[in-house]
Structures are given as C-alpha cells and as structure tokens.
Structure 1
C-alpha cells in the first residue's frame, strides 16, 4: 500500500494521495445529494448504505492495515462490488469509477495488482450500468467504451506510478544514508576526540607524574644506600624526594581539576626554566652538565615543549645512558629555536627503540609544527635535537 507522502517526494506521489482525498470528498458530496434528492427509498438507502460500508472499510484499512498488502487488497475487494452495485442502483454513479481510480494504485502493492483491480472495477461498473439500463447494444457499447476509456487512463497512472515510487524510495534511501553517515561521522569524531584526549593525558602523566615517581624511586634507593656512608648527601637526596613529591602532587591536582595542561604555569624565560631543571638533575645524579642556553623569547607552548623534551631526555639519561657528562645547547635561528641534548653514555639502536617517551616528544613537537631528531649508536652516546618554529608571546595592548 502506498505510504503517506513525505517531504521531498516526487509530485506524482502527492498527486495520487490528493486524488485519493478528492475521491472521498466527491463520495461525501454524493451521499449528501442522495439524502437531499427525492429518490425512491430503495435506491436512496441502498446507495447510502453502500457508501457507508465503503467509508468504514477505508477507515478500517487506514487504521489497522496501513503497512500490509492484505489490508489494501481487502479494501479493493470491497470497492469493486460496491462500484458495481452503485452503478446498478443509481444513474450517474458510474462516475465513481473515475473518481476512485487513484485508489486502485494507492491500495495495491504492485503494478499487476493495480491493473487487475482497476480492470475489475471497470467491469463491475459496466455490468452494473447494463443491468440497470438493459442489455441493448447501444447501451452496452456506450458503457463499455466509457469504462474502457477510464481504464486506459488508470493503466497510464499505474505505469507512471512505479517510476515515481522508485524516485521516492531512492530519495528516502539517500536521506537515510545521509542521516546514517552523519551519525557515523559524529560518532567517529567523538571517538577521535576521546582518543586524542586520552593520548594527551597519557603524555602529560608520563612527562610529569611518571617521571617524577621514577626520580623519587632512584633518589630513594640512593639515599638508602648512602644512609650510613654519606649522611649529608642522603639529606640532600631526601630533600629532592620531598620537592619532587610536592611537584607531583601539584601536577596531579592540576590534572584532576581539569586545569590547563601541567606545565602551563611555566614562569620566566625558557633559559631560566631549563637552567633550574639542569641544576636539579646534576644535583640529584652527580652527572656533569655543560649548558649553553641562549635567552630565547618564545610563547608559553614552546617553553612547555622545550621543558618537556629536556625532562624526558634527562630521564632517559638517568635510566639508560650511564653517562658522565650531558651537554645542553639552546639556540635561536631565523624563525626557529633549537634545543640539543647530548650525552656520552652507552647509546642505543634508534631504529629498534620502542618507548612512549620518544613518541610523546615527537607528537608534542608535531602539534606545534616542530621536529624531533634522535641520533645514537651503541657505545657512542646520544644526541636529541628538538626544532620548533619561533613564536613569541603577543603582549596585550592597553586601550587608550
């Protein structure tokens, strides 16, 4: 059964349903005329009863058989004999076949069903009129030609309707596919955003809390080993443990409180910040640090990235390199700032290296348009070079 038209459906679908509604308006008008017209009681009440039965059948199929073919065909099985009986009872009621022609398309679920149904309707109208007027040749010919002409129109309507239905269904399919694609895109963006945020949090935790805890473990082990041998050194290490633990606590509170990324409160110039980090490293590990730090004016994000790269590189030196000397150079070039961290440790195979720290540094620099280069080989130490576009903080201008 043809479904209710929807926005965007072809004009033909709207026309068929409008025709269906129009047919019921005409049937209602004929019922009113029948009531008001001075006709024999048998014809009057019989016509009214038939139109009432037809209306009740249509209401029933619209309410309970909207989505099934059986309900539509049951209604057509009622419509065909009612048309024949009305044509038999009253002169002029044969026009109802023309009026209800669209219903054969609306309530049939196939082209063949609509053609057969409308053909039976034409036959019923013809037989009803002939039975009422008699079997004269001229009457039979006139009624047959009239019904056949209407049937041809119905056949044309039935032929055009499937194409309109195809267009309607194609547009409906495209609308459904578009809605589905939009939902999938929205879900993909949501998942991508969640994955990006998880990656950012993982990187921040690794660069701050994890590194801090690793430093605490190393310092605690050293302090325990030197407790009886070098109490002064042990006290210094315990102080570093306390300071690192406080810093980790602050970082954890910042993460839990959804404040800007840890490190966002880096104060002072990048050279001053790096100098404090290097002094702390040298004090905790006893490794010699040679630093050449230019006074670079850069924005906060660049300062954070340079600090994180330095912290990660020093953590790797502490854990893996067994180096005696670390050289750090911060330099400014045309539109770029370079950070180089070199150690004389045992080195490693860069191609075979698998670690979250190096990947985290690369991703952090990529987000800022920078680049990370790691050069190392077994026994020859390691060179970590971070290069970033130079972006300076834009001071807020006071309104005059």
Structure 2
C-alpha cells in the first residue's frame, strides 16, 4: 500500500476512534457514574476509582500511542480486568461491557489477542454479575454472551474486509508500479527514437548535403582538370571549404563544438553566403530578395538555413533549372522564406523523400509549416512559414 493510502487509512481509523471515544464516555462512563449516585460505602468509591483509572489510561493511550508507560495490549488487559471487576460493583455490568467491546478491536493488537482479551472481559463480567445477583441476572448474562459473540463475528468480518482491501490495494499498487515502469520505458524508447530521428535529420541536412556537394564538385573538377585548370582549381577550393564545413558540423553533432557553424548576424547574411556558394558551385543564376532588417532567434535562423540548403540541394540534384529565386519576408507574427526554380518540376503527392519530411518536422517544432507547389514542366515553389509568436 502506498504512503498516501496508509495515511488516509490511519486518518479514517483515528476519526472512527474519536467518534467511538465520545460514544464510550456518553453511553458507558457517564451512565455508570450516574448509577453510583444512589449507592454509598466502599463499593461506590472503588467503582469510581476504577472508572477514573480506565478513562485516564484510555486518554493516555489515545493521545500518546507511542508512550512507554502504556501499550495497547497492556491497556486492553487492564480494561478486561476492570470490566470484570465492574461486573460485581455498582454502576457496572452488561451495559458497560457492551459499550466497551469495540475497544478490543479498534486497538490493533491482532485478531487472536482481541478474541482472548474480550473473552476474558466477558467471562469476568459474567462472574461479577452472577456474584452481585439481582432480578435480571439471567438476562444480563445472556446479553453479555450474545454481545461477545456478536463482537467476535463483527471483528472477524471487518478484519477480513480490511485484509482483502489491503491485498487489493497491494495488487493495484503493483499494477500501478508496473504500468509506471512500462510508461517510463516507453518514454525512454520514444526519446531515443526522437533523438535518432533528430540526428538523422541533422546529418541529412548538413553532412549528407556537404558530401553530395563534394562529390559533384570532384566530378566536375576531374572533367575540367585537363581543359580548364583554372575552373578545376576553383572547384577544388570549394571542395576543401565544404569539407572543412562538414568537419565543423560533425564536431557539433558529436558534442565537441558548442554551436552550429552559424555565425552571429542577420539571417539575410547567412542565407546570402549560402546562395553565393551555390551559384559559384553550380553556375546557376540566383535572384534573391533578402532584407537585412529581418531578425530572428537562433533556432529560426537554423531552420531557415536548413530549408534553404535542402531546397538548393534538390534543385542541384533533380530540377535541371537555370534560375533560382529566394525571397525572405518578415510579417508581424511570422517569417516566410520562398524558394522557386524554373526546373522540370515533379508531382508533390508522389514525393517520398526524407528531405521534405525533415523540413516539415523541423518547421513544425517551431510552430511553422512547409508548403510545396510543383507540377511537371512548371518548376517548383517551396514556402517555409515560421510563426514567431513574439519571438525575435
């Protein structure tokens, strides 16, 4: 059982015990004291003293359950002897015994001890009642025996219900712990899967694109080395620069570098540098509208750069275009990046590439969206929109 359940159970028992104590005083002790008013002599004072001792011991045990002077077993043994003595004294008898019976079950002393101690109290009360005599002696003895039997049956039933409840709570607790463990494992696996997907996206958008560019430049340099050495030299320089950038990105991915290779400054400066490299490497015409006053945070800059790199890589590999257009626009609550080409186009619904999915997921993480419009023979338009929501 959990600590919270145990605390709730203890609170319920304490409230029940509090209500019972009030009933015991009002229905047990007070009537017994009132019944002594018409008596005199030593028996009266012995009975008052005995009732006072029982009340004091009960109060001590209720207020200080962990005290060293009195333990539940000791108190219940004293209660059994006191009830036995009260059976033969004025103010005692069957009524006081019946009202006092729940104490043998409310104090947690075990089923066997509860039965034995309450049995001792019943036997003593019967003997005391018999010694005192009276017109209703037979009825009182029968009442005592029936009350004892009923208390034992009720106590056993309650203990059985409590035991079943504890067992059920234990099973539910075990099931809850198992479910929590499975949930934690599922979260761990999902986190690992998300991290693998993020790493795959980063590798695709950085290292893979860089290596693809190196391959294309190397093939072009090999073809130009004999007929156009100057061009081949420029391409070799581009290969070296791309390889160094890939090396820097690899350090970022493995955690040995603190940030992406993105230099501080306007997003327009970052995109312009990428577009100039693309135009130099491919020879394609690039028309760009990149306002210098468009500011955004680092995550947004990286997302726009990756979308640009992926779109340009697709143009290089698939479009067979001659012109590429790039327009960056700042709206009150969003930033838009539009990349168009006049290439062969494609059927968007048939595209299953990792790059477009990666761009969509990257933008979605920043409350953005990707719109791709294309058809065969009409070029392609890629629109990346990032809702800033107050971010700069």
| Distance change in 2, residues 1:29/1:10 (3 Å) | closer
Match of 2:92 in 1: none
Cα root mean square deviation, aligned? 5.0
Partner SS state of residue 347, structure 1: coil
**1:248-306 deviation line (CA, Å, top 9, x unaligned):** 1111112222655524x333322222222111111111222222222242223322221
CA distance in structure 2 between the aligned counterparts of 1:195 and 1:354, rounded to whole angstroms: 20
Partner SS state of residue 364, structure 1: helix
Deviates further, 197-206 or 311-320: 197-206
**1:139-164 deviation line (CA, Å, top 9, x unaligned):** 99987764443112212223344444
Structure 1: gaps spanning 5 or more residues? 34-94, 395-400
| Distance change in 2, residues 1:377/1:260 (3 Å) | farther
Q: How many residues align?
A: 328
Match of 2:199 in 1: 201
Asked if 1:9 is matched to 2:4, the reply is no
CA distance in structure 1 between the aligned counterparts of 2:367 and 2:6, rounded to whole angstroms: 50
Asked if 1:297 is matched to 2:346, the reply is no
Match of 2:31 in 1: none
Match of 1:285 in 2: 282
Match of 2:321 in 1: 323
Q: CA deviation at 1:241?
A: 0.6
Match of 2:221 in 1: 223
Alignment of 1:263-274 (within 5 A): 263=261, 265-274=262-271
**1:72-108 deviation line (CA, Å, top 9, x unaligned):** xxxxxxxxxxxxxxxxxxxxxxx9xx799659x9867
Deviates further, 191-200 or 306-315: 191-200
Q: CA deviation at 1:194?
A: 3.3
Match of 2:272 in 1: 275
TM-score, structure 1 normalization: 0.63
Partner SS state of residue 263, structure 2: coil
Q: Paired residue for 2:372, among 368, 371, 374?
A: 374
Q: 2:370–2:385: 8 Å Cα contact kept in structure 1?
A: yes
Q: CA deviation at 1:243?
A: 0.2
Q: CA deviation at 1:338?
A: 1.9
Q: Paired residue for 1:339, among 337, 352, 359?
A: 337
| Distance change in 2, residues 1:99/1:279 (3 Å) | closer
Deviates further, 227-236 or 239-248: 227-236
Partner SS state of residue 224, structure 1: helix
CA distance in structure 1 between the aligned counterparts of 2:11 and 2:147, rounded to whole angstroms: 24
**1:102-159 deviation line (CA, Å, top 9, x unaligned):** 59x98679xxxx9xx98xx79x979xx9xxx9xxxx9999877644431122122233
| Distance change in 2, residues 1:163/1:12 (3 Å) | farther
Q: 1:328–1:341: 8 Å Cα contact kept in structure 2?
A: yes
Q: 1:293–1:329: 8 Å Cα contact kept in structure 2?
A: yes
Q: Paired residue for 2:355, among 354, 357, 360?
A: 357
Q: Paired residue for 1:152, among 150, 153, 156?
A: 150
CA distance in structure 1 between the aligned counterparts of 2:12 and 2:163, rounded to whole angstroms: 9
**1:210-230 deviation line (CA, Å, top 9, x unaligned):** 111111111112212222222
Match of 1:234 in 2: 232
Alignment of 1:45-124 (within 5 A): 102=105
Q: 1:12–1:161: 8 Å Cα contact kept in structure 2?
A: no
Match of 2:208 in 1: 210
Q: CA deviation at 1:354?
A: 1.0
CA distance in structure 2 between the aligned counterparts of 1:201 and 1:258, rounded to whole angstroms: 15
Match of 1:25 in 2: 74
**1:144-193 deviation line (CA, Å, top 9, x unaligned):** 76444311221222334444445545555555555555545444444443
Match of 2:28 in 1: none
Deviates further, 310-319 or 221-230: 221-230
TM-score, structure 2 normalization: 0.64
Asked if 1:244 is matched to 2:293, the reply is no
Q: CA deviation at 1:27?
A: 8.4
| Distance change in 2, residues 1:11/1:278 (3 Å) | closer
CA distance in structure 2 between the aligned counterparts of 1:233 and 1:325, rounded to whole angstroms: 21
Q: CA deviation at 1:29?
A: 7.1
Q: 1:207–1:357: 8 Å Cα contact kept in structure 2?
A: yes
| Distance change in 2, residues 1:385/1:145 (3 Å) | closer
